[in-house]
């Protein structure tokens, strides 16, 4: 039986600025309902009158046909006294407590794409077409609420045609804040660096055509995009690629590519369905793909690697350029050495002059620099390596128990820095900012802290930061805590990694402890030494260190990161001892190679203990093994280069995991701390070297051996901790797909439940989220189990502090 009733529907989530109200309007009209829909401080509020069947139908369709960029987190309905409405209308917004979510930028949608490519449409060839389902969002926001006047589109008053579309609920551009067309919106022009001739609007086509012509002829063109400048060149032209590397002084790191469509990418990479879907998603990230297609790219694109990062054009501007180019383009960040991506016209003119032959400019300011995100499919799901455009600043939902979390701010780490705003029980993880030791990156990081504070109207009651005394983010947090008289929670690096993994996997606040395995380069340990291969019994509030990779000296501190051979030497010297190595393996090329190094100096450093901090680092073990196999032994151009090359070459070994290398488990006298000991692995590896074993086989034996050793350590820990049945994997080393997938397989085979990262990076980009969760948990429940209690000031050993200070630099 049909009953006429009035229902109030409250929708929470990402529902503003994404075309939600027009969708509600359209569905309500379809279902013959009357009523109203409006935005308020909590999301979207609908009041509607109609027969109960139609209302039920409306609610079902609201879920199924919600606009593509919206994310409904919660819908609550409540029956009201019967209200009469004349029709269904979109009512004025009601301001309230301001917690409007800012939506990430979204790639051009199918409808806009068609328009831009259709000569009959008025936006044909227009590089800034967008609608409620796509286009710039976060990159143009200066203030909230998200209205045109508070974005960099304020400089472009809407023309009459755009205004009509903006006001028409049935239009795809109803209330699309960045709405624009060739009459009223931003325009492009080309500046030639050599001649200083600028060709501009209304000859936008001429600017595009010239840029395309230049690219086809091997030139480097700087392109002002959505979140910053790119440097582009023809990726199939080895000379152009090499030229770009030389001009940019970027020799090691792989270049990202952009291609017009999936078919072009398939010439170089055999795409899986999941990869194709990810490339075409509104987030449109750079996807790391196996370079296993029929055609080969020049070696200069991704030196030493068997993967390549591809993305599809995500703005109309990129679409219009790539439409005219048959093959892929290099599309790398437009920056100078390690500085952040350039965003402003003047900085580009000054800074990119010596790199680009021409600059394709536009006049819409970039309010927030945002890099391209990088994702890889690993262990069956998309796994974020760099979380920026398309993903930030969307909220990461907090698990059960965190409802009472205080508003707080977590400052993150030092490299791949992000920060995290906790407000109303939601965690907003900032976009990737870069390495804070770069002065302009650190300035940008501070600017963004202010911006987020403004956008989210955020006044933290609590601050959180890394325990490292020399991280710039931690120093800033201390300063802020003193200035604003706020409590500061200092969080151990690897505990933060594990907590971030727990949050994104929805582990409840009061869930039993997990066995956290944090593998990375280095982080400040509670005992004042450097950690980086940790097995922690952890919950959100605290942890206990149960096992670690056996510490080995980092000879020369940071120099050990730059010169990987130092780690090889340190591992050999610490394991079998140098004398024994020389005696047994003098015939090896490795031995002749190391003898040429300044060993007497290094030995003196080891004897005196000067600048040789001990590190239980998994990252350094990878460096040591890579260098022993001759992979970037002398110099790493970026941290982790050796590990990436080692993984790449291990992947090529068809036999996979046959006869993995053995490791040993030992117990540290007195403390009971278990050590993962790599000496047996080294002995087998050196024998392999002596027998001219293929490098790929040794790399594979190492990867599979390490995974098995970690599994064995887990089993050993469970002998005395039988209740532990959940393992959380985090830290930058888990960007290694081979290691992650093999370890997950082994742990699952042992009946363990395995948490690992997907939406939040496993590297230091995820630290801020973990810090936020830990600070919130400690605040919510101040009394926590003594066995998991974190550090107390008294047990911190600061002997290595000077060394760590130098390491932070
Ligand atoms: Zn669109
Ligand atoms: Zn217009």
Q: What is the DSSP letter of 76?
A: E
Given this model, what pLDDT does residue 17 score?
A: 77
Higher-confidence residue of 327 and 200: namely 327
Q: How far is the CA of 161 from the centre of ligand 2 (A)?
A: 6
The interaxial angle of helices 20-30 and 52-64, nearest 10 deg, is 140
Going 262 to 263 to 267 to 272, the CA torsion angle's sign is positive
Q: How far is the CA of 676 from the centre of ligand 2 (A)?
A: 65
Q: How far is the CA of 344 from the centre of ligand 2 (A)?
A: 24
Q: How far is the CA of 439 from the centre of ligand 1 (A)?
A: 37
Q: How far is the CA of 315 from the centre of ligand 1 (A)?
A: 10
DSSP notation for 522-575: EEE-TTSSEEEEEEEEE-SS-EEEEEEEPPEE-TTTTHHHH-THHHHHHHHHHH
Ion ligand 2 — residues with CB < 5 Å: 159, 162, 181, 183-184
Closest ligand to residue 109's CA:
1
Helix, coil or strand: residue 164 = helix
Closest ligand to residue 123's CA:
2
Task: Round to whole Å and give the CA distance between 36 and 32.
Answer: 13
Q: How far is the CA of 377 from the centre of ligand 1 (A)?
A: 27
Q: How far is the CA of 181 from the centre of ligand 2 (A)?
A: 4
Q: How far is the CA of 374 from the centre of ligand 1 (A)?
A: 23
In this predicted structure, the answer to whether residue 486 has a pLDDT above a threshold of 80 is yes
- Backbone dihedral angles phi then psi of residue 33, each to the nearest 5 degrees: -95, 155
CA-nearest of 167, 133, 163, 152 to 226 is 152
In this predicted structure, the answer to whether residue 202 has a pLDDT above a threshold of 50 is no
Closest ligand to residue 181's CA:
2
Task: Round to whole Å and give the CA distance between 419 and 172.
Answer: 35
Q: What is the DSSP letter of 709?
A: H
Structure tokens at 323: 């439409």
Q: How far is the CA of 322 from the centre of ligand 1 (A)?
A: 18
Structure tokens at 727: 């393992």
Helix, coil or strand: residue 559 = helix
Given this model, what pLDDT does residue 778 score?
A: 95
Task: Round to whole Å and give the CA distance between 510 and 540.
Answer: 8
Q: How far is the CA of 663 from the centre of ligand 2 (A)?
A: 67
The pLDDT confidence band at residue 791, using thresholds 50, 70 and 90, is: very low
Helix, coil or strand: residue 202 = coil
Beta-strand relationship, 188-192 and 552-553: unpaired
Helix, coil or strand: residue 308 = strand
Structure tokens at 275: 């990869």
Given this model, what pLDDT does residue 648 score?
A: 95
Q: How far is the CA of 136 from the centre of ligand 1 (A)?
A: 10
Q: How far is the CA of 112 from the centre of ligand 2 (A)?
A: 15
pTM of this prediction? 0.92
The pLDDT confidence band at residue 770, using thresholds 50, 70 and 90, is: very high
CA-nearest of 486, 436, 446 to 463 is 486
Closest ligand to residue 115's CA:
1
In this predicted structure, the answer to whether residue 675 has a pLDDT above a threshold of 80 is yes
In this predicted structure, the answer to whether residue 653 has a pLDDT above a threshold of 60 is yes
Helix, coil or strand: residue 32 = coil
Chain CA centroid to CA 114, Å:
31
Task: Round to whole Å and give the CA distance between 409 and 244.
Answer: 40
Question: pLDDT tens-digit profile of 351-398?
Answer: 998 899 999 999 999 999 999 999 999 999 999 999 999 999 988 989
- Backbone dihedral angles phi then psi of residue 650, each to the nearest 5 degrees: -65, -35
Place of tokens 């383009």: 329
Question: pLDDT tens-digit profile of 318-352?
Answer: 999 999 999 999 999 998 777 889 999 999 999 99
Q: What is the DSSP letter of 155?
A: G
Closest ligand to residue 186's CA:
2
Q: How far is the CA of 442 from the centre of ligand 2 (A)?
A: 38
Q: How far is the CA of 163 from the centre of ligand 2 (A)?
A: 7
CA-nearest of 218, 216, 217, 222 to 192 is 222
Q: How far is the CA of 489 from the centre of ligand 2 (A)?
A: 50
Closest ligand to residue 129's CA:
1
CA-based R_g, the chain, Å? 28
Given this model, what pLDDT does residue 93 score?
A: 75
In this predicted structure, the answer to whether residue 768 has a pLDDT above a threshold of 90 is yes
Percent of the chain with pLDDT over 90: 81
Q: How far is the CA of 69 from the centre of ligand 1 (A)?
A: 11
Cβ–Cβ under 8 Å, residues 3 and 57: no
Structure tokens at 680: 């047996």
Give the range among 195-204, 559-568, 611-620 with minimum mean pLDDT: 195-204
Q: How far is CA 453 from CA 78, 209, 474, 649, in A?
A: 34, 42, 18, 45
Given this model, what pLDDT does residue 339 score?
A: 85
Give the range among 171-180, 411-420, 705-714 with minimum mean pLDDT: 171-180
Given this model, what pLDDT does residue 119 score?
A: 95
Given this model, what pLDDT does residue 801 score?
A: 34
Cβ–Cβ under 8 Å, residues 310 and 328: yes
Q: How far is the CA of 138 from the centre of ligand 2 (A)?
A: 21
Q: How far is the CA of 132 from the centre of ligand 1 (A)?
A: 6
Mention every residue, 6+ apart, whose C-beta is less than 8 A from residue 85. Answer: 34, 35, 36, 47, 48, 49
Given this model, what pLDDT does residue 201 score?
A: 42
Task: Round to whole Å and give the CA distance between 548 and 532.
Answer: 8
Closest ligand to residue 173's CA:
1
The pLDDT confidence band at residue 203, using thresholds 50, 70 and 90, is: low
In this predicted structure, the answer to whether residue 72 has a pLDDT above a threshold of 60 is yes
Q: How far is the CA of 185 from the centre of ligand 2 (A)?
A: 6
Ion ligand 1 — residues with CB < 5 Å: 109, 112, 131, 133-134
Task: Round to whole Å and give the CA distance between 292 and 786.
Answer: 53
Q: How far is the CA of 182 from the centre of ligand 2 (A)?
A: 6
Task: Please give the span between the terminal C-alpha atoms of the chain, in angstroms, as a whole number.
Answer: 73
Q: How far is the CA of 177 from the centre of ligand 1 (A)?
A: 12
Q: How far is the CA of 191 from the centre of ligand 2 (A)?
A: 25
Q: How far is the CA of 534 from the centre of ligand 1 (A)?
A: 46
Q: How far is the CA of 323 from the centre of ligand 2 (A)?
A: 24
Task: Round to whole Å and give the CA distance between 595 and 640.
Answer: 25
Question: pLDDT tens-digit profile of 561-577?
Answer: 999 999 999 999 999 99
Mention every residue, 6+ apart, whose C-beta is less than 8 A from residue 669. Answer: none
CA-nearest of 701, 715, 779, 783 to 752 is 715
Q: How far is the CA of 166 from the centre of ligand 2 (A)?
A: 10
Closest ligand to residue 176's CA:
1
Q: How far is CA 433 from CA 164, 344, 423, 453, in A?
A: 39, 17, 21, 16
Q: How far is the CA of 134 from the centre of ligand 1 (A)?
A: 4
Structure tokens at 572: 């050999």
Q: How far is the CA of 141 from the centre of ligand 1 (A)?
A: 18
Q: How far is the CA of 111 from the centre of ligand 1 (A)?
A: 6
Q: How far is the CA of 147 from the centre of ligand 2 (A)?
A: 17
Residues linked to residue 409 through DSSP beta bridges, in sequence order: 421, 463
Q: What is the DSSP letter of 615?
A: E
Structure tokens at 600: 């007497």
Sheet architecture: strand order including 43-51: 71-80, 4-14, 43-51, 34-40, 88-90
Q: Provide the mean pLDDT of the chain.
A: 91
Cβ–Cβ under 8 Å, residues 93 and 416: no
The pLDDT confidence band at residue 250, using thresholds 50, 70 and 90, is: confident
Question: pLDDT tens-digit profile of 93-151?
Answer: 776 555 567 889 999 999 999 999 999 999 999 999 999 999 999 999 988 777 899 89
Q: How far is the CA of 153 from the centre of ligand 2 (A)?
A: 12
In this predicted structure, the answer to whether residue 198 has a pLDDT above a threshold of 70 is no
Q: How far is the CA of 341 from the centre of ligand 1 (A)?
A: 26
Q: How far is the CA of 570 from the centre of ligand 1 (A)?
A: 56
In this predicted structure, the answer to whether residue 3 has a pLDDT above a threshold of 90 is no
Other Cβ atoms within 10 Å of 442 Cβ, number: 20
Q: How far is the CA of 57 from the centre of ligand 1 (A)?
A: 27
CA angle, 335 as apex, 331 and 336 as ends, to 5°? Answer: 135
Question: pLDDT tens-digit profile of 16-30?
Answer: 878 898 899 999 999
In this predicted structure, the answer to whether residue 195 has a pLDDT above a threshold of 70 is no
Q: How far is the CA of 68 from the centre of ligand 1 (A)?
A: 10
Question: pLDDT tens-digit profile of 83-95?
Answer: 989 999 988 777 6
Task: Round to whole Å and give the CA distance between 459 and 788.
Answer: 30
Q: Calculate mean pLDDT across residues 743-748.
A: 98
Mention every residue, 6+ apart, whose C-beta is less than 8 A from residue 96. Answer: 40, 41, 42
Task: Round to whole Å and give the CA distance between 252 and 245.
Answer: 9
Chain CA centroid to CA 310, Å:
16
């Amino acid at each position: 039986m049909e009953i006429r009733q009035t229902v109030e529907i409250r929708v929470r989530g990402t529902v503003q600025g994404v075309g939600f109200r027009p969708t509600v309007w359209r569905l309500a009209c379809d279902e013959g309902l009357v009523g109203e829909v409006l935005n308020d401080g909590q999301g979207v509020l609908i009041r509607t009158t109609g027969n109960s069947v139609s209302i039920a139908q409306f609610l079902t369709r609201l879920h199924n046909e919600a606009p593509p960029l919206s994310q409904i987190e919660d819908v609550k309905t409540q029956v009201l006294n019967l209200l009469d409405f004349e029709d269904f209308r979109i009512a004025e917004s009601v301001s309230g407590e301001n917690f409007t979510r800012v939506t990430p930028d979204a790639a051009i949608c199918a409808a806009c794409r068609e328009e831009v490519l259709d000569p009959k449409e008025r936006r044909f060839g227009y590089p800034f077409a967008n609608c409620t389902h796509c286009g710039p969002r976060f990159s143009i926001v200066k203030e909230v609420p998200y209205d045109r006047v508070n974005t960099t589109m304020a400089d472009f008053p809407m023309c009459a045609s755009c205004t009509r579309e903006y006001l028409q609920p049935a239009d795809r551009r109803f209330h699309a804040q960045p709405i624009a067309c060739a009459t009223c919106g931003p325009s492009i022009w080309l500046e030639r660096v050599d001649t200083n001739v600028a060709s501009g609007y209304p000859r936008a086509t001429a600017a595009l055509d010239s840029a395309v012509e230049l690219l086809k002829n091997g030139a480097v063109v700087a392109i002002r995009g959505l979140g910053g400048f790119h440097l582009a060149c023809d990726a199939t032209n080895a000379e152009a690629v090499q030229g770009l590397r030389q001009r940019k002084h970027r020799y090691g790191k792989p270049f990202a590519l952009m291609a017009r469509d999936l078919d072009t990418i398939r010439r170089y990479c055999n795409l899986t369905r999941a990869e194709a879907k990810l490339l075409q998603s509104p987030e449109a990230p750079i996807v790391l793909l196996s370079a296993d297609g029929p055609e080969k790219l020049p070696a200069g694109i991704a030196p030493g690697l068997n993967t390549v990062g591809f993305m599809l054009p995500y703005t109309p501007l990129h679409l219009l350029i790539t439409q005219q180019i048959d093959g892929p383009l290099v599309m790398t960040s437009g920056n100078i050495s390690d500085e952040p991506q350039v965003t402003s016209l003047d900085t580009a003119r000054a800074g990119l002059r010596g790199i680009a032959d021409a600059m394709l400019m536009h006049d819409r300011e970039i309010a927030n620099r945002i890099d391209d995100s990088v994702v890889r499919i690993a262990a069956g799901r998309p796994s974020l390596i760099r979380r920026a455009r398309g993903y930030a600043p969307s909220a990461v939902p907090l698990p059960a128990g965190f409802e009472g979390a205080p508003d707080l701010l977590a400052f993150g780490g030092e490299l791949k820095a992000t920060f995290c705003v906790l407000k109303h029980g939601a965690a907003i993880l900032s976009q990737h900012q870069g390495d804070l030791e770069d002065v302009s990156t650190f300035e940008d990081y501070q600017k963004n802290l202010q911006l987020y504070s403004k956008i989210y109207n955020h006044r933290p009651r609590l601050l959180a930061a890394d325990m490292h005394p020399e991280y710039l983010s931690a120093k800033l947090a201390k300063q802020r805590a003193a200035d604003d008289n706020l409590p500061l929670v200092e969080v151990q690096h690897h505990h933060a990694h594990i907590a971030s993994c727990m949050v994104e996997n929805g582990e409840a606040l009061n869930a039993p402890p997990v066995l956290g395995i944090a593998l990375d380069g280095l982080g400040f340990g509670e005992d004042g030494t450097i950690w980086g291969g940790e097995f922690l019994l952890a919950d959100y509030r605290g942890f206990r260190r149960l096992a670690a990779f056996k510490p080995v000296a980092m000879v020369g501190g940071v120099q050990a990161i730059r010169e990987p051979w130092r780690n090889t030497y340190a591992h050999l010297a610490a394991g079998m001892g140098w004398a024994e190595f020389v005696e047994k393996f003098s015939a090896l090329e490795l031995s002749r190679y190391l003898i040429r190094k300044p060993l007497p100096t290094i030995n003196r450093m080891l004897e005196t203990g000067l600048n040789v901090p001990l590190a239980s680092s998994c990252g350094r073990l990878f460096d040591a093994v890579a260098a022993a196999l001759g992979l970037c032994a002398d110099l790493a151009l970026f941290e982790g280069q050796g590990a990436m090359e080692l993984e790449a070459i291990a992947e090529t070994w068809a036999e996979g995991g046959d006869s993995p290398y053995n490791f040993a488990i030992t117990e540290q006298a007195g403390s009971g701390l278990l050590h993962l000991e790599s000496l047996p692995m080294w002995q087998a590896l050196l024998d392999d070297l002596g027998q001219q074993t293929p490098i790929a086989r040794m790399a594979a034996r190492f990867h599979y051996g390490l995974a098995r050793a970690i599994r064995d350590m887990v089993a050993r820990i469970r002998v005395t901790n039988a209740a532990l049945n959940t393992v959380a994997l985090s830290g930058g080393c888990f960007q290694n797909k081979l290691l992650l997938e093999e370890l997950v397989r082994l742990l699952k085979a042992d009946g363990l439940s395995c948490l690992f990262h997907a939406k939040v990076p496993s590297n230091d980009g995820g630290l801020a989220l973990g810090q936020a969760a830990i600070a919130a948990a400690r605040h919510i429940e101040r009394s926590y189990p003594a066995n998991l209690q974190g550090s107390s000031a008294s047990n911190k050993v600061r002997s290595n502090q000077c060394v760590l200070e130098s390491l932070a630099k």
